[in-house]
Amino acid sequence: MLNCEPFLFLKDTYQINLMKNGILLILTVLFSLNIQAQDFRVPKRLKLEKAEDYAKYEDDVLKAVKWLKNTPVHEQKSKRKEVGAFLLKWITGAPDLTLTIDLKVCPYAEDPDCFLMFMAGWTEYALSKKDDSASEGAYAGTIAVLDFYEKNKYELGRVKGIKKLIKKRKKGKLKAHIEKLTKNY
């Protein structure tokens, strides 16, 4: 019989190497995702005059939304303003996009970061799903705000209406609540 006792230490070494490699792989993926999210640049020489002009920037709009969602509110403040201005300019002129703003649906509208995130979430939904449903858009915008708030609540502080919406989401009643508020849109 072969005595394997002298080689038992290799088993532990192999497991440690697998753990190191696994952790290294996870960190690499997370780091690359973070860099991708922060890599967005607002298009230079922005030209939004005709309907066709807006269609050209749809990918940039989606990247801007992703950047706003993934970048903490306290980081890159001047770039956040620049990205927000680009997004607002595109949203307000886009011929195929209609956002209905109602304080019943977004009671947090007084907070500029949350209000921008609401419009960003709605726009992302409309562009990615090719759907102009007010109810679904408002729901997507609300979810974007709640996720954004959860990530940035210490920097944002208390924001009117957010806690009630978070409670409705936890109870599974948020979608029905938004549908009820938007049924006349």
What are the pLDDT digits (tens) for 55-110? 999 999 999 999 999 999 999 999 999 999 999 999 999 999 999 888 999 999 99
Percent share of the chain, pLDDT over 70: 79
Q: CA–CA distance from 72 to each of 37, 78, 79, 153 (Å)?
A: 11, 13, 12, 10
How many other C-beta atoms are found inside a 10 Å radius of the C-beta of residue 149? 21
**Domain of residue 77, residue span:** 43-182
Residues 87/116, Cβ–Cβ less than 8 Å: yes
Same domain, yes or no: 107 and 83: yes
Same domain, yes or no: 57 and 103: yes
Same domain, yes or no: 21 and 49: no
Same domain, yes or no: 74 and 106: yes
pLDDT band at 39 (very low <50, low <70, confident <90, very high): confident
Same domain, yes or no: 114 and 60: yes
pLDDT band at 38 (very low <50, low <70, confident <90, very high): low
Same domain, yes or no: 20 and 111: no
Same domain, yes or no: 19 and 62: no
Average pLDDT value for residue range 105-127: 96
pLDDT of residue 68: 97
Same domain, yes or no: 106 and 156: yes
Same domain, yes or no: 25 and 66: no
Same domain, yes or no: 47 and 18: no
Q: Give the whole-angstrom CA distance, residue 100 versus residue 184.
A: 11
**How many domains in the chain?**
2
Same domain, yes or no: 177 and 116: yes
| Predicted model pTM | 0.78
The set of residues, in sequence order, having a beta carbon less than 8 Å from that of 108 and lying 6+ positions away, is 114, 115, 118, 145, 159, 160, 161, 162
The upper half-sphere exposure of residue 94, i.e. CA atoms within 13 Å in the direction of its Cβ, equals 21
Same domain, yes or no: 20 and 61: no
